[in-house]
Structure 1
Amino acid sequence: MSRDSYQHFARTPAAGAPLVFTFHGTGGDEHQFTGLVHQILPQAGIVSPRGDVSEHGANRFFRRTGEGVYDMADLALRTRKMTDFIRAHKAENPDTPIYGLGYSNGANILASVLFDAPKLFDRAVLMHPLIPWTPAPNPALRGRKILVTAGRRDPICPLPLTEALASYLEGQGAAVERVLHDGGHEVRQPEIDAITAFLADG
């Protein structure tokens, strides 16, 4: 069943509150961002899947053959699986705002779902994403609210690729906010502040 196709943490939203999907980074798990979401939106529901690909014991959402080199066939397969999982949980929460938040590998699977099914999410946070290809044009991204955060000196997700992703999304008509800090791949307080403002502005 699609709703249980991943091991996951789930909490039902209070009436009128959003449902937030969170996607961990490589080596994380379904609990990586539940505390942050609860801090920002105490009444929100949460669905947080655990990546089902193991890279030397580290949880991931899709395979890669090297740093920044993705197994694109596997990514396509995993994107369809994740899209079905999200749709199943969304169907159980009709008329509920749906938000997404992903970091690193989690941001990449979230972005891949957005490329294929933009209308699943009302707003999305992509933290330190790395999309090393140019996605196909998708006018259905128009009006999607997306926050992109990154470090200017990130050795894993180079700034030019972050900027290229944000520019692509803007080119499709998405409402994109960009927040950069002067560090690397770590999450810093300016990002947390921006995420808080972005998600709480419902």
Structure 2
Amino acid sequence: MTEVNYRFIKGNPEKPVLLLLHGTGGNENSLIPIASELSPDSTILSIRGRLIENGMTRFFRHTPDGGFDLEDLAVQIEWLKQTISELAAENDLDVSQLVVVGYSNGANVAADIILNQTGYFGSALFFHPMALRKVQTPQRLNDMSIWMSHGTLDPIVSDENFATLAHTFEQQDADLTRYVQRQSHQILPSELQAAKEWFNEEFENERN
């Protein structure tokens, strides 16, 4: 495997394993505090995007006019899938059971993987995600629980785009929870608290 910047923090094997994918300009440490709030004892695998665009780390590129570079997206998704699979194998993790926690750019790429790929992730929490493209290979997501947030003042993710992404998940039978409030693109304490409550209920129910 080519050099990958990541962190692996071993936790309680009885707790869900969290896969962290940061937002634009972030790194493998950015979402550690979020993960610690969601599930303090969980094992964590956090991966840094390998691209630099305008001085900021990302998981895939933009086109010169500011749109999404879908050719690069396909390449980077294959890299990310391979990276996740190899790191999971090294650390005895089940890719199909990972709880992916993504913010912005990291949420976008993880959502695209779930909508188009088989066998990746058990559930997901997405902070300020957006739809990148039409679904290429629809999946049956009836076993997938997803929580995702949106700010009605978000200058990056429009209400329409968020609604499109949510509708797409629901079309594929995902168990979707939306959290929408009057805010911008940052993660607020109230938003994190709502995510934590969903997480606790989701995994407490599984144990019961």
Q: State the AA in 2 paired with 1:131.
A: A
Provide the TM-score with structure 2 as the length reference: 0.88
Does the 8 Å contact 1:148/1:178 carry over to 2? Answer: yes
Shift of the alpha carbon at 1:86? Answer: 1.7
Match of residue 11 from structure 2:
13
Cα separation, 1, equivalents of 2:42 and 2:95 = 14
Provide the TM-score with structure 1 as the length reference: 0.90
Distance 1:130 1:14, change over 3 A: same
Cα separation, 2, equivalents of 1:122 and 1:165 = 18
Match of residue 189 from structure 2:
189
Are 1:26 and 2:24 counterparts? yes
> Paired residues, what number?
200
- The 5-angstrom pairing of residues 79-94 of structure 1 reads 79-91=77-89, 92-94=92-94
Cα separation, 1, equivalents of 2:66 and 2:192 = 25
Q: State the AA in 2 paired with 1:149.
A: S
Match of residue 124 from structure 1:
124
Cα separation, 1, equivalents of 2:39 and 2:161 = 30
Give 5+ residue unaligned stretches, structure 1: none
Per-residue CA deviations over 1:38-97 (Å, capped at 9, x if unaligned) read: 232121011111111101211101111257611101100111111112222333224994
Per-residue CA deviations over 1:95-153 (Å, capped at 9, x if unaligned) read: 99410011111111111221233532111011111224221352332221111101012
- The 5-angstrom pairing of residues 104-183 of structure 1 reads 104-136=104-136, 138-183=138-183
Q: Percent identity?
A: 27
Match of residue 49 from structure 1:
47
Aligned CA-pair RMSD: 2.0
Does the 8 Å contact 1:148/1:177 carry over to 2? Answer: yes
Match of residue 61 from structure 2:
63
Distance 1:60 1:78, change over 3 A: same
The structure in which a higher percent of residues are strand is: 1
